[in-house]
Amino acid sequence: MNFSKTTIIIGIIIVVALGYLVLSRTIFRNDFQLPSGGETKKDGEIMVTDGTKHSVPLDEILGGGPPKDGIPSIDNPKFVSIADASAFLNNSNPGIALDINGTARFYPFQILVWHEIVNDTVGGQRVLITYCPLCLSGIVFNPVVQGEHVEFGTSGKLWNSNLVMYDRKTDSLWSQILGEAIVGELTGAQLKVLSSDMTRFGEFKKLHPQGTVLSRDTGTTRFYGQDPYGDYYTTPGTYFPVGKKDDRLGDKDFVLGIVVNGKAKAYWPEAVKKAGEVSDRFEGKDIIARYEKNIDAVRLFEKKADGTVERINPFGAFWFSWTAAHPDTKVLK
């Protein structure tokens, strides 16, 4: 079979581009330099090493490869209609869906995998869309830092194989799976999790035919529709070290985790889906885990004393990621 020189060159470019996110995690330098070897003092839950505040051991924070902002956040997102999005999405394509004040948007993983962070405003509400492909964790936050809405970017670092972000106000480092600053001036500060669902494009467009979808017009050139992580999501193992493994579930079983009164618990959607609805009592709260067929996803609620229910916004992620952050977690399976 004969190939033209142009075809070969294009093939090489595609292979290099698809391998960039994975291979670069062991090649490129990192712009955030953390103290090493200095004396560490502890003040409650906060540690200080060479004048730097942190809440996790610094040697657990690893360079993921790309430098600060090497994986570019989307700071001026554009959106297209359901009809236009159907040209590059099929019904089974997953993503993050949210509906705020009547404005519904869908953020496809095929775009987020190349950017990991979107700084956006939805229905008049500033939002921080985050996605870590290494942990399959898609979490939406209210990006308030010291009473001010700020932008976030990718730091190029990982903690327990999970996305570490930074805020563009103080350069503090934030763990996505904790929703908390773990290094820097704001160490210990937390972000509020907002309601969202990990669902598929087909379910989203049925519920929100007038909704909009994150556009591929991001200002950067990427091979959208190609996933550089390949079959990582369904095969054993992680690319980076994590804490002690927990065999109560498979490492890459997806869970919904909550923290109440400092205690953690994970709910396994597969178990809830089979039951349809599960009632639970955790840390003095009546929890309802319910399978919502119209979005093919599980939602969590708290049942109040007056009988009303209020939605709980969990951290969704692979089991290995949740247990690495919360080794004493309980689990409903």
Q: 2-54: per-residue pLDDT in tens?
A: 545 544 444 444 444 445 444 444 433 446 789 876 788 887 789 999 999 99
Tens digit of each residue's pLDDT (9 = 90 or more) over 258-317: 999 999 999 999 999 999 999 999 999 999 999 999 999 999 999 999 999 999 999 999
What local confidence, expressed as pLDDT, does residue 11 receive? 47
Asked if 139 and 179 touch (Cβ cutoff 8 Å), the reply is yes
pTM comes to 0.90
Write out the chain in H/E/C secondary structure: CCCCHHHHHHHHHHHHHHHHHHHHHHCCCCCCCCCCCCCEEEECCEEEECCEEECCCHHHEEECCCCCCCCCCECCCCEEEHHHHCCCCCCCCEEEEEEECCEEEEEEHHHHCCCCEEEEEECCEEEEEEEECCCCEEEEEECEECCEECCEEEEEEEECCEEEEEECCCCCEEECCCCEEEECCCCCCECEECCCEEEEHHHHHHHCCCCEEECCCCCCCCCCCCCCCCCHHHCCCCCCCCCCCCCCCCCCCEEEEEEECCEEEEECHHHHHHHCEEEEEECCEEEEEEEECCCCEEEEEEECCCCCEEEECCEEEEHHHHHHHCCCCEEEC
> What is the C-alpha separation between 314 and 236, in angstroms, rounded?
25
Percent over 70 (pLDDT), the chain? 90
Q: What are the boundaries of each domain within the chain?
A: 65-214, 244-332
State the sign of the Cα–Cα–Cα–Cα dihedral 20, 21, 27, 33.
Answer: positive
- Measure CA of the first residue to CA of the last residue in the chain; give whole Å: 53
